[in-house]
Amino acid sequence: MTPKCAFIISASLLLTPVAGHAAQIGVGAFTSPTTVGFGNPGAPGSFDVVAEGLVIAPVSFTTGNGSGLRWWGSGTSFNDCIGGCVTSDSFSAGTLRATLTSPFEMVGLYVGQAAAFNLAVSFYDTADVLLGTVNVAGASDGVAFAGWQHTSAIGRIDIVNASDNGFVIAAQSGLFQTAAIPEPSTWAMLIMGFGAIGATLRRRRPAVKLSYR
């Protein structure tokens, strides 16, 4: 293989679109997230019982059974709601649903209960297709992180407590991020790659063999 051919192949690979990606992620995967606390700005240590559809941009909170929500203020004595949080108003097995008012490609939530917990956090795309589930567990009165990344954008997260343990489900805060915009140097490399390929193709000439009988 000549160096010219090797260059053409490597440039072609550089310009090949990356396929859709879906995977569980941790806090360290975020580079420039929007960080949102879900606490009630009302009286410290108190909570308000609120209707379904509480919007704390960029999330709209509901439950799976229409039981309503509790919106906790800062200063609560429960560690899973330090700084405030949103919880279901059902003290039995159930779901706290977070629907994104605008889609993001990377989402992570701190979730928990005021008891030892084991929650299933399921992420769905904007077409309501399940992308994957993260199982998170923690000690009494704490939170754990569940995150997911998907290039087709995440539209909904269900936090499910399958155990009838007598405690509400808490969502304390979230991290939200769209895909990073390529750096100018990356765009320059792509443009140079296109230009080099075009120049190489212009220099190529078909080989003609003449034969005489």
Per-residue pLDDT tens for 186-210? Answer: 434 544 554 555 555 455 555 544 4
DSSP output for 94-150: EEEEEEEEEEEEEEEEEEEESSSEEEEEEEEETT--EEEEEEEEESTTEEEEEEEEE
Q: Is residue 196, in this structure, part of any structural domain at all?
A: no
Number of structural domains the chain divides into = 1
**Domain span at 119:** 20-177
The whole-number pLDDT of residue 15 equals 33
Q: Is residue 145, in this structure, part of any structural domain at all?
A: yes
d(CA 152, CA 35): 21
Q: Is residue 182, in this structure, part of any structural domain at all?
A: no
Q: Is residue 73, in this structure, part of any structural domain at all?
A: yes
The whole-number pLDDT of residue 152 equals 87
pLDDT by residue for the chain (213 residues), tens only, comes to 444 443 333 333 333 333 347 899 999 999 999 999 999 998 888 999 999 999 999 999 999 888 899 999 999 889 999 999 999 998 989 999 999 999 999 999 999 999 999 999 999 999 999 999 999 999 888 999 999 999 989 999 999 999 989 999 999 999 999 976 444 444 345 445 545 555 554 555 555 444 454
**170 half-sphere exposure, CB direction, 13 A CA radius:** 34
- Phi, psi angles (nearest 5°) of residue 151: -70, -20
Q: Is residue 192, in this structure, part of any structural domain at all?
A: no
Q: Is residue 1, in this structure, part of any structural domain at all?
A: no
Q: Is residue 62, in this structure, part of any structural domain at all?
A: yes
pTM: 0.76
What the block records as the tokens of 18 is 């990356």
The whole-number pLDDT of residue 22 equals 85
Q: Characterise 10 by phi-psi region: left (phi > 0), alpha (psi -120 to 50), beta (else).
A: alpha
Q: Exposure string (b/e) for 116-127, b if CB count within 10 Å is 16 or more?
A: ebebebbbbbee
CATH code assigned at 55: 2.60.120
What the block records as the tokens of 67 is 């039981």
The whole-number pLDDT of residue 104 equals 97
